[in-house]
Chain A
């Protein structure tokens, strides 16, 4: 392990410049240029995809390989220095963040990003946090990212888009560094840490979901910092524990509080992981942290009466208190509304699958979007090595040589969740849960991969080592590309022409014009019925509040799908106090690429074989009392004030 070099008792005299070690970046500067060229390929490929040109895919995938493979190869190398590995880890994270920015470099266009934009914008204009969010319910109770971004926007006089891009970009760089340092301390090897970071980047959420302007992206870096502090706290021989135990305790408390107000799922996952780690120490009979504690002089922060607090138990307690308190006093409603439905649907769909009440979802296929055979092969090829890694890792961490290491065991248990998350992908509802779990599960996989692959026998001549390195970097590149395929629908991997229900690809200039009209001419907070992609624009830039769900047991989406406007539609509009209806006529052109037009619970979600009936949208034109107040060809906005009963 490369430890920090300290001089225990030497007086503080400045050593001569020549005697100081020189930073050894090795191949990192060269690989930075290579990665930048890869980004250029991706940018050109994305532009070609926007115009539906044939060379879009080769450039895009080629660019991804050019970014990832050389860095992975060098991280496998035995000759790279610690500094080079750190530089490469940061370079990999940074490059892949720019990769995400290249998708849409002028504004936010993902659903959750626009939800965060609205929350931040409301915070900036009102000066108050915790306002309701019409796009993502959970944002109303977890304002950490919005507070940070609004501070930057206000003080730096920057657009929210620019502030958010800077904040998430810096968070990504800090995450890669924090993850490297954590894995380095866990494995006691900078090489294992570098390999672990390369593997972590293979998680299906890494490229887009965890790079977006959303609370989970920022929560991950807080979690990484908390892990770093916990490792130091749990090791009585660490610099921090010996020299500033009170500082470490305060740091863990601050980080726990920050995480608790920033993201529910990451907080709960971290409580679980730290608790698991503490349990492993207890099962190991205290031979972990406490065993080491006995070897050094006791400090006033040694918890002799509650030894479990000497290790990860203390931050677990802090985080459980912070997250529990925040849930109880502020965020219970939004957390239950958001997580409850996702988990409930996932569990129900798995039960239905087991009991045979419903069939399984076809892998690599969703809502009529099918991957090519090559993509399917790559997807499966990415899963198999990771599944193989788990039993080997369990053997190494539970039956391997040396004293039991509770942290290793806890991380290996985390990796065990990977097969379970893969099983969830056999159901439609479970896919989202699986996707969201990947950034946590991959911490365990990254650790096991780093540990096992760095322990492979790397002896022999240079050409043998090179062959081994090439083979392993090719394998991790397959895992990386396959992870992206597993996690992202074929139609949303690259930008492209307008696509009905295609998330970011359904964001269009016409939708933006409608949102700008709403923002400038309609009362903010008016209640609006609108399809999902346009709802993100109308509810963010347009400042209207999207209405979803059902009222009196009737789904509000019925207003769009009924062929004739009837009394039930009238009831929905009147009783749910709908002010405006936004109609996108393009919905009648094709079935939704994302599986649904309005919301995931609509009756025909994920089963559409033909587009929405034209008559269902035309009915609004002939309706007495309904005013069409905006029209740009694709999108019309109707005012219901003349229609609503008194």
Chain B
């Protein structure tokens, strides 16, 4: 008995393996391998459990998704006990489940007749293409709504203009102090001055010209005077102090 549906399921598993080896890149990989996670293993499991006409076709749709979830979650849970769940492990697991379940389904379809006595009556799509055009239009409008919402989020975020200043102290092997510091500009282009001081004395100064959304960072050696307990890192916007940090160099009392 021919089983084109199972052949397709196995085909997706094999093509998935090949695509994964070829590693062609983003969207093609996603397009080919997403069905191998979301639908195909579940379809094969449902086919193995329920021969044709044992359940209704819409039940099969629900089971295809949920059994795919079962395959990934139960299979993954068992597999992670012995292997890390990396890309190869996932691919092998889901392809193996698909192939094994398809084999069982194929075997059960070849077995005696009770499963073959009832066949679902096929239903054909409406002749008029209007329904397809309407659904397509609905999808397009819904996609437009999402695009509008994305645009709204970006506009709201773009109104938040600020800069982040950070600094982390460290010491070299010889005990010298260094500071890794950075400025992340989340606003428009701007000119900043970064100053480091200790006990009120300026130690180091650096001019920064940052473009919109530009990040700057550097490791600096401020060389504070002996006995300095804390360093102050100040970011000035123009000549106005804008952000400041305090880095403790000693132990608490």
Contact = CB atoms under 8 A, between A and B. Distances in A.
Interface of A: 4-10, 12, 15, 17, 20-25, 28-30, 32-33, 35-37, 39-40, 42-44, 46-47, 50-51, 83, 86, 95, 98, 101-106, 123, 126-129, 143-145, 147-148, 150-152, 154-158, 166-167, 170-171, 174, 177-178, 181, 218, 221-222, 224-225, 228, 232, 239-240, 243-244, 247-248, 250-251, 254-255, 257-258, 261-262, 495, 508-510, 513-514, 516-517, 521, 621, 624-634, 637, 639, 642-645
B112 to A, nearest CB: 12
Contact of B166 (A30, A123, A629): A629
Contacts of B62: 174, 177-178, 181, 221, 224-225, 228
B21 interface: no
A593 B20 CA distance: 48
Contacts of B247: 627-629
Interface stretch (B132-140, B190-198, B218-226): B132-140
Given A5-B121, A633-B162, A243 B29 contact: no
B250 A642 contact: yes
B30 A151 contact: no
Given A25-B126, A258-B73, A627-B248, A151 B90 contact: yes
Contact of A22 (B117, B127, B144): B127
Contacts, number: 349
Contacts of B57: 4
B22 interface: no
Nearest to A155: B33
B145 A29 contact: no
Interface stretch (B3-11, B149-157, B204-212): B149-157
Given A123-B85, A181-B59, A631-B165, A20 B121 contact: yes
A25 B138 CA distance: 14
B166 A47 contact: no
A625 B56 contact: no
SS class, residues of chain B in contact with chain A: helix
Contact of B66 (A129, A225, A521): A225
A170 B38 contact: yes
Contacts of A32: 134-135, 138
Interface in B21-75: 25-26, 29-30, 33-34, 36-38, 45-46, 48-51, 53-59, 61-63, 65-70, 72-74
B152 A46 contact: yes
B123 A22 contact: yes
A28 B26 CA distance: 35
A214 to B, nearest CB: 15
A527 B235 CA distance: 28
Contacts of B53: 6, 239, 243
Contacts of A129: 76-77, 80, 85
Indicate the member of B83, B115, B122, B248 with the most A CB atoms within 10 Å: B248
Interface in B87-133: 87, 89-91, 94, 114-127, 130-133
Given A228-B62, A510-B162, A102 B146 contact: yes
Given A22-B124, A151-B37, A174 B66 contact: yes
Given A29-B135, A240-B55, A21 B84 contact: no
Given A250-B49, A254-B67, A43 B34 contact: no
Contact of B115 (A21, A243, A262): A243
B252 A624 contact: yes
B85 A254 contact: no
A8 B117 contact: yes
15 contacts: A21-B123, A43-B146, A47-B151, A103-B149, A105-B149, A143-B73, A151-B72, A152-B34, A154-B86, A154-B90, A155-B29, A261-B77, A513-B162, A513-B186, A632-B162
